Structure 1
Amino acid sequence: MTKYIVEPPQDLPLSPKVKALRKAHEDAKAKLSAYRQENAAYATRNVTREFEAKTRYEVPALAQAERDLQEQEVAAVAAGKELPDRDAVLRPILAKVDEYKRTVPALTTLVEKAQQEYSEALKSELVTMGLKEAQKAAKARQEWESLYQAAMDARRTLERHAGLFAWCVTSGDYDVTPLEGASAGNQVEHWELAEDGRLTTEAAIALGYEGVSVIDGLIVMPEPVVDEEAETEAEFWRTYKPQHFIAGRSGTDGNAVGRFDNWTH
């Protein structure tokens, strides 16, 4: 089991005490994060390279101060002046490094303490909150059951009227919707009427009325699909006039022919 309880869901109503302790924990974490970020130059880092056998550590601010001091020493020597006071240059940096080493553990301990207090307070209220949520769930279940029953009643009413419609539209051939008893269900949830009160084409297809003999006036019948190419070909053959070629009147000139439209005996 973990040392601290995990963060609760956002919807869980926490007491003012627990909320205050959670804020204290969040503030402590933010303080630690801000301090580390602002004073990152005084943190000791592992700067060992892959090819190095010995581990090396470095404090960025101290390393930079050493480089700056070396430049000052070179400049002093070149000018024939006294070397700068090493302790005076490095003392403030070393003080900040020491402060960082002491402050980060202290802030980390503060975070852990705040987390522990928050976690313990939260755990102490789990039973109380859990019983409240159980009651809310029970109430929600009763409401769901009531709504579900109402929905089922409404569906049965829908199925009954859809069946009466089926009897009318099929002149008594059907007394239930065409898909009643099918494995996919009767699909009455697709019921939809056009503005004029007739069953829409899409709903009729979903309900299984395709291939069923129905009367006019109750279902929006789809417009016939026109095959323009087929219509053009049919019109051609409907108005087609055969052409016949016969020998010329002389009966001797093989190259002379006459053309008669609508030739008849």
Structure 2
Amino acid sequence: MTAEADTGRLKTEADEPGWEVDPDDEWGVAVIATVGRQLKLRREAVGMRAADFGKAVGYGEDMVYKIEGGKRIPQPQYLDNADRVLRAGGLLSAMKVDVEKVRYPKKVRALGEMEAKAVEIGLYECNIIAGLLQTPEHARAAIEAAQPPYSQDDVERMVAARVARQSIFERDPAPALGFVLEEAPLRRPLGGTMVWRRQLERLLEVGQMRNVTLQVMPTHREVHSGLDGRIELLKFADGTAVGRSDGAFSGRPVSDLRQLRILELRYGTIRAQALPPGESLVFIEHLLGET
């Protein structure tokens, strides 16, 4: 039995927010329904009641029914414990790969898949620190600031998804990553002083990576080419590319060469107008010293 079961404390929904199935994610709904059905069939095949199975894996009976009914996404530990208790020989544990993908919102998965394939990414952010650069604490503070507020489940899912995308920094070979950030969001103590300091420290860490170019757009620039909003450019090994801008083409992703050329011109101009990488890191160091 797990430590939870040994102490009589069985996990409930309140213990694991952020693991609800997105009803608009058809693929995700299908995956979780299949996983739940397999768990139920395995449990019934060995003649275990849901309550007894729940105690064995450290979860309440209601959670067992919701997971088996495809209403809740099982955590990796749940699948490992179920595999052991039901003697599934690794078959249930193997489902963790697909379940992990389903945990994240559909749009974020699509973005993460593109970023995982890109060999070059260029990003200009005007109102926030880019999600790929956010610490978990900063991401949580930013998401919780939304109005109307997200549910706690949604907050947990979105924070986890944003942090998961940052595995791009661990890729080998590493992609070329370029970021241009506005000065104003860097000065905003989102989440409090300690969260703010850690975020600035994270920017300095990333900015010193060999495959990363990090630049700051000073507020005192009278005008620059990013006033229409964020710009994102992703280039792939086969020579294709995808771009998106808040202020062009209705914010839709584009791959047409003529449209991409416009976005590349704007992004290139923004980079030229921003502080050089070395000066940008010095600027961030000064901000950190002011906190």
TM-score, scaled to structure 1: 0.19
Larger RCO (CA within 8 A; separation ≥ 6):
2
TM-score of the superposition, structure 2-length normalised? 0.18
From the CA coordinates, give the structure whose radius of gyration is larger: 1
